[in-house]
Amino acid sequence: MHTKKTKVKRIPKRGHYDFETIAQILDEDFICQVAFVHEGYPVVIPTIYGREGKYLYFHGASTSRMLVNMEQGFEVSVNVTLVDGLVLARSGFNHSLNYRSVVVFGKAILVTDDAEKEAALEVVSEQIIPDRWKELRPIKAKELKATSVLKLSLEEASAKIRTGKPVDDKEDYALDVWAGVLPIEKRYGAPIPDPDRHKDEPLPDSVKNLLKS
């Protein structure tokens, strides 16, 4: 939904408001920044999330400051930013970044139903390591109780995207300065088995698949 809040004001041509674009960006990461107002001042905290359908799910210990605030019904703003590359132009002024970013506005709702809560935790787990959840023992009742889960509608969200080559001032194209894009890549390194393992477990499919991705 395109509202006054979500409208991309700075460089409007980079703004996108369709759900597919927003969902694709959200699905490429699992870390977001959640901002809220606490005693009148802004607070921003990183946290992990999962997306399913038109909702983001967050979890945390029932005691965390962020979650306590959300339970009281404070509005939040959430950002996910993927940095795709450095854009080197012929002037400092025209240097830029290639990025894909989503900002969501809304009120996070506490999930109180245990079945919905457990399903949401699986969504968050799947977002980070697909198929890990089914490799694990079921969650215990006391663990579920110690965890708060919140959901946030994606109704009020927008994306901002920059792609492609540098854009320089006309006269600067004559300068003998290298210009172009330096891509930024994220990858997983070699897995480090827990030194406290009781035997040499083989690498699970979930990790193998992440390493292939």
For residues 137 and 164, is the Cβ–Cβ distance under 8 A? Answer: no
The residue (of 113 and 191) whose beta carbon lies closer to a second copy is: 191
**Closest distance between a second copy and the C-beta of residue 32, in Å?**
9
Burial of 141 (0-12, 13-18, 19+ CB in 10 A): exposed
What minimum distance in Å lies between the beta carbon of 81 and a second copy? Answer: 4
Nearer Cβ to a second copy, position 23 or 45?
A: 45
- Least Å distance, CB 80 to a second copy, is 9
Residues in Cβ contact with 102 at an 8 Å cutoff, skipping those fewer than 6 apart: 22, 25, 26, 78, 79, 80, 81, 157, 158, 159, 160
Which residue's CB is nearer to a second copy, number 55 or number 127? Answer: 127
Question: Over the range 47-66, which residues count as b (16 or more CB within 10 Å of their CB) and which as e?
Answer: bbbbbeeebbbbbbeeeeeb
Beta-strand relationship, 75-88 and 31-38: antiparallel
Nearer to a second copy, 52 or 172 (CB): 172
- Shortest Å, Cβ 166 to a second copy: 6
Q: How far is CA 193 from the centre of its chain?
A: 27
Give phi and psi for 127, each to the nearest 5: -65, -35
Residue number with CB closer to a second copy (24 or 136): 136
Residues in 11-30 at the binding interface with a second copy, rule: CB under 8 A:
none
Residues 50 to 79: which contact a second copy by CB under 8 A?
Answer: 60-61, 63-65, 74-79
Contacts of a second copy in 103-162 (CB under 8 A): 103, 105, 121, 125, 128-129, 132-133, 135-137, 139-140, 143, 146-147
- 130, 204 Cβ separation under 8 angstroms: no
Least Å distance between CB 35 and a second copy? 3
In angstroms, rounded to a whole number, what is the distance separating the alpha carbons of residues 76 and 68?
A: 13
Q: Which of 22, 25, 26, 34 binds a second copy (CB under 8 A)?
A: 34
Interface with a second copy (CB under 8 A), residue total 93
Touching a second copy, residues 194-213 (CB under 8 A) = 194-199, 201-204, 207, 210
Confirm or reject binding of residue 46 to a second copy (CB under 8 A).
yes
